Structure 1
Amino acid sequence: MKVTWHGHACVSLELSNGYTIVFDPHDGGSIGLEKPNVKADLVLVSHEHFDHNAVEVVKKDKTRVFKEFVGEAVVDNVHVKGFESFHDKAGGKRRGRNTIYMVDVEGRRVSHMGDLGDKPSSEVVSKLRGVDLLIIPVGGFYTIEPHEAWEVAESVEPRNILPIHYWVKGLNLPIKPVDEFLKHVRGFNIVRLDSRSFTLESYEKSVLLPKYG
């Protein structure tokens, strides 16, 4: 499984047969980054904010799209689960709801936490526990703060972690750089990659930092 970080919260999973899943696409220019260079067979959108729902950027003619989906579905042999969470600490009253996705495909479980603004319930954590890759926002302000992101990661006990939604050069949003999250990491290898992509099967107990820019 090839995993690519397209900046901000946009991540794609390319399966062995070329089938591609994209989480939370942005349009590039509106947040100061490059437009994601990927086309999706399946798009999963955690919530309808402009920097997470630019579906047209990555869509093909027959792309399947799930927005704020809560429940369970099987799409093209991809098992999708959506769990309700919140974009803030006020039960969604400030910024709305957020969907945490988990996909189960090719023997791997990957969870994308979207714009998680508060710690997920213990019930949700129990269903995510042990995922092969936890994709989690770590930049704070709009989402959980860096120390909270680590606390969530510890509770989920993933095999690997991909931090997202943190400041990189060019991004015009007031969020923290990834180093603020890395200060809290314990028991994981911190792997700085030389590209935006990696093969998930190559890593174990790692915080993976694709190169952006």
Structure 2
Amino acid sequence: MEITWLGHACFRLRSEETVVITDPFPSSLGLRMGAQTATIVTVSNSHPNHSNCPEITGDPRLFKSPGEYEFKGVSARGVMTPISEGKPHEQRNVAYSIEMENIRVCHLGDIAEPLTPSQIDELSPVDVLLIPTGGGCTIDLERAAQLLQDLDPKIVIPMHYSVPGVSVELAQVDTFLQLLGGSEVQSQPRLSVTAANLPPNMRVTVLTPQARIA
């Protein structure tokens, strides 16, 4: 599987036969996805920065609610995450466990509160975790660190943080990396993952957003 970060919470997961796009965003975010064709699109919440599905071509199957999904060799489970107190139900968030080529990718969307034990069980096991690290409407860094312990992924890929062009006020990824106490991480354009090359211990991989500034 090849994992490419387009920007914000939008990733392209590509196998030999299928392409999954997560949380497509509009150019009003400050970035342009470019032409994207997909087999499946997952949407974690209805905010325009996470649900710009009309720009994705290929007549993709849409996953946008909690539940079990199976399509063209991809298995997925959508799990509703807790809503912050006082927030309307319309701001609900769905996290996804996506299995392709024997790799389990967990995309947490705009998660804002800790997962319950049952939700952790539903999303586990996790090989690759796509986690928001820029704060704002999502979890703070302390809760992000707790999620790493709860889900115990092999690979962690930060998302939803400040990059050039993005109009949303978010923190830089450096703060998250410092919290983990690791050395400087070099960013890369994409990541190729197989079941055989998963690391024995948790590793953080920073991807360079492939979207262009709008």
Residue 20 in structure 1 maps to residue 19 in structure 2: yes
Paired residue type of 2:74: V
Q: Spell out the pairing of 1:48-63 with structure 2 (5 A cutoff).
A: 48-60=46-58, 62-63=59-60
Checking the alignment, whether the CA contact within 8 Å between 2:24 and 2:50 is kept in structure 1 is yes
Q: Give the aligned length.
A: 206
Per-residue deviation at 1:192?
2.2
Match of 2:152 in 1: 157
Normalising by the residue count of structure 1, what TM-score does the alignment of the two structures yield? 0.89
Paired residue type of 2:66: V
Checking the alignment, whether the CA contact within 8 Å between 2:161 and 2:173 is kept in structure 1 is yes
Per-residue deviation at 1:190?
6.3
Per-residue deviation at 1:35?
2.2
How has the CA–CA distance of structure 1 residues 194 and 77 changed in structure 2, closer, same or farther, with 3 Å as cutoff? closer
Secondary structure of the equivalent of 1:209? coil
**CA RMSD after TM alignment:** 2.0
Per-residue deviation at 1:34?
2.3
How has the CA–CA distance of structure 1 residues 189 and 100 changed in structure 2, closer, same or farther, with 3 Å as cutoff? farther
Residue 5 in structure 1 maps to residue 5 in structure 2: yes
Paired residue type of 1:121: T
Paired residue type of 2:80: E
Paired residue type of 2:188: D
Checking the alignment, whether the CA contact within 8 Å between 2:39 and 2:61 is kept in structure 1 is yes
Per-residue deviation at 1:200?
1.9
What do the CA deviations read for 1:76-109 (whole angstroms, capped 9, x no partner)? 12111000114x4217438621000011221111
How has the CA–CA distance of structure 1 residues 173 and 191 changed in structure 2, closer, same or farther, with 3 Å as cutoff? same
Match of 1:79 in 2: 75
Normalising by the residue count of structure 2, what TM-score does the alignment of the two structures yield? 0.88
Secondary structure of the equivalent of 1:110? strand
- Aligned counterparts of 2:166 and 2:141: Cα–Cα separation in 1: 18
Per-residue deviation at 1:206?
1.4
Secondary structure of the equivalent of 1:125? helix
- Aligned counterparts of 1:91 and 1:133: Cα–Cα separation in 2: 31
